[in-house]
Structure 1
Amino acid sequence: MTQRKTKVLNSLESLTYNDPIIDEDKNITVFVFDVGKKTWKFYDWSQITTVAAFGKYDPELMCHAHSQGSRIVLKGDVPLKDIVDPAFRASWVAEQLDLAKKQYMDGINIDIEQEVNDSSPEYDALTALVRETTEAFHSEIPGSQVTFDVAWSPKCVDRRCYNYSGIAEACDFLFVMSYDEQSQIWTQCVAAANAPYNQTLLGYEDYIRMGISPGKLVMGVPWYGYDYTCIDLLEDRVCTLPKVPFRGAPCSDAAGRQIPYGAIMKQVNGSISGSQWDEEQQAPYYNYRDPAGRFHQVWYDDPRSISAKAAYARDRGLRGIGMWNGNSLDYSGGPEAQKETEEMWQALKP
């Protein structure tokens, strides 16, 4: 293990930004989104390189992350209409930098996820915002990290037509959100995998063909699934959905609801089908019937589907892997829950 600060365990006031926090023995990036509460106490910290704190600020989490040689970074979001003004961008960057210093954070994860037309003023302004944020953080907080969240594909998913290659160059790396891949369903309105294997990998190949280095891409995987109420369940396999349009598409995963992996594990064994495996999409699913007699189909990712994608990330030379979100597992401590939780963490390193 390389030299790093440990004084943070004793006092927040003792922390200074002289050296990067990160433990360089962790040779691949494992990027964890945390949305609050205290489940972080049960994470596999031997793997984690960065925690993106998307919940309420928790100084105990910050201290623990640093003690484990892990970075902890802010969430950065801003209305895109405002960033066209260079003065607004400068003010926003200064505010984020000041907050990071006050909270002893090690960078920022910019999570915008708003529509951008490639001919609009916001197109260049967004790239400028990322570049200016990176320059400021790297200058003021040595060893800090600035990252940007992108959709599973660069092909204007959900009308996010960003300057992907420019943004990748402007920050440390992109976190690719390889989930919610049914947000726009242009074919049959049926339930399908949240992150089907071939479609997920195609997204990375598209980013790489744009000239973005694989080392600038971190694969995001879902630790949650979608529960769909079926209009019809045909031959226990095809679940037809009501049409819920989204950004031009006639159908979307908004017809379902998100459900965390921990809850899925509590439900699947009592379902009418048990866990089934779809060979084409390389993903599990199951069917159940609710008290009102309606059929549901749940699609999710498990250690098998995640391991396959993690193997691709390793073999293709991606920077690493991460998940939305670390809180989604069952950390209650029972033997079965503990086994399922450990398997999900282990799936990140095939």
Structure 2
Amino acid sequence: MLWFLVFLSSLLAVCGSTGCPCERAELCQQIRDDKNFEVFVFDVGGKSWKSYNWSMVTTVAMFGKYDAELMCYAHAKGARVVLKGDVRLPYIVDQGNRTAWIMEKVNLAKGQFMDGINIDIEQAVEKDSPEYYALTDLVKETTVAFHKEIPGSQVSFDVAWSPKCIDKRCYDYVTIAESCDLLFVMSYDEQSQITGDCIAMANAPLTQTLRAYDNYLDLKIDPKKLVMGVPWYGYDYPCVNLSQEGICYIDKVPFRGAPCSDAAGRQKPYKWIMKQIHSSLSGRLWDDEQKAPYFYYKDQQEQIHQIWYDDVQSICTKAESVKAKGLRGIGMWNGNILDYSDEPVARQQTAMMWNALLGC
């Protein structure tokens, strides 16, 4: 009888009071192994995860509804699954609120057999404000709590493509990097603040993207803390005016102090872009200065649109720089937006996009 009680106690420790939803109880055990190279995937819901390249995936940030089947499958493949963490910064200026938020997330991760948390707070913060210090403390205290309560867990924090107060996100990047396990650098939406001419441009131009990593490294942030985020989507810009040189002038949509922004366009997933290009006016074009593809199409109202996006060629080059700079890994926003259908061309395009994450 004693052996049974010991067995039952150990099983409950693994599965928690709600019971393990996996076919095998060991799949509810948290993943503790750190991989030498991270492939960090954001998943926003649905079942397209079943078609991911699981030979590559190391961490899945579950940003959609909790999916126990995804958790079990990821664990079977040796990949972590982490929570999304978001909170309004004025709320966590209070120490008590901050502690309560952290414990709620720890308990949620435990109850769902997850392996950590991805803190995704993209709010504007002024340097040396109460929110500035509260955010820094939140990351530090969250990391301590998760590491204590879930040994081997991973705490990551999403940062803008540059540490130079992009979108007024003036964070204490150095201390935050020291406090957590990973910084996921959102190397996309780099036209969120357009201060020059209001024109359509690449979502993540290569030179600008790589210079921003040098800015992070100049702060003495460990390159092994940095994961490069790349976009699996592009922007569809209606052209208010199209110059003879092919410059697409866009509506003036201000954002956080800048007169223009990429909000003048609409985000489009890679699978939509691959279909739209077939009915385009131009076919795929390449901008050698920004190292990015683009094309034009005309809508039903006869307005010309310019589409900027990333594809295998542009992502491949960025992936090579991840290795050259010794970064921790690469990831994307988001894993769901490729075409995972059985259509042969789509299957080939999708496989090539996954493979591009490892370089050319």
Which of the residues 133, 146, 163 maps onto 1:137? 146
Which of the residues 81, 98, 103 maps onto 1:89? 98
Aligned partner of 2:303 in structure 1 is 294
Which of the residues 265, 272, 275 maps onto 1:266? 275
Q: Secondary structure at the match of 1:32?
A: strand
| Deviation of 1:242 (Å) | 1.1
Equivalenced residue count is: 341
Q: Distance in 2 between matches of 1:239 and 1:124?
A: 41
Q: Distance in 1 between matches of 2:68 and 2:24?
A: 11
| Deviation of 1:14 (Å) | 7.0
Aligned partner of 2:86 in structure 1 is 77
CA contact (8 A) 1:154 1:164 kept: yes
Q: Secondary structure at the match of 1:288?
A: strand
Q: Which has the larger radius of gyration?
A: 2
CA contact (8 A) 1:8 1:67 kept: no
Which of the residues 275, 286, 307 maps onto 2:316? 307
Aligned partner of 2:8 in structure 1 is none
* Equivalent position amino acid for 2:233 in 1: Y
| Deviation of 1:306 (Å) | 0.2
Q: Distance in 1 between matches of 2:25 and 2:275?
A: 40
* Equivalent position amino acid for 1:10 in 2: E
Q: Distance in 2 between matches of 1:277 and 1:257?
A: 20
Q: TM-score, normalised by structure 2?
A: 0.92
Report 1:159-308 matches (<5 A): 159-235=168-244, 237-308=246-317
Pick closer, same or farther for the CA change 1:12–1:89 going to 2, 3 Å. Answer: farther
| Deviation of 1:330 (Å) | 0.4
Aligned partner of 2:329 in structure 1 is 320
Runs ≥4 residues deviating over 3 A: 11-14
Aligned partner of 2:43 in structure 1 is 34
Aligned partner of 1:148 in structure 2 is 157
Q: Percent identity?
A: 61
CA RMSD of aligned residues (A): 1.5
* Equivalent position amino acid for 1:182 in 2: Q
Q: Secondary structure at the match of 2:301?
A: coil
| Deviation of 1:211 (Å) | 1.1
Segments of structure 2 that go 5 or more residues without pairing to the other structure are 1-13, 15-19
Q: Secondary structure at the match of 1:83?
A: helix
CA contact (8 A) 1:21 1:69 kept: no
Q: Distance in 1 between matches of 2:28 and 2:292?
A: 44
* Equivalent position amino acid for 2:92 in 1: I
Q: Secondary structure at the match of 1:263?
A: helix
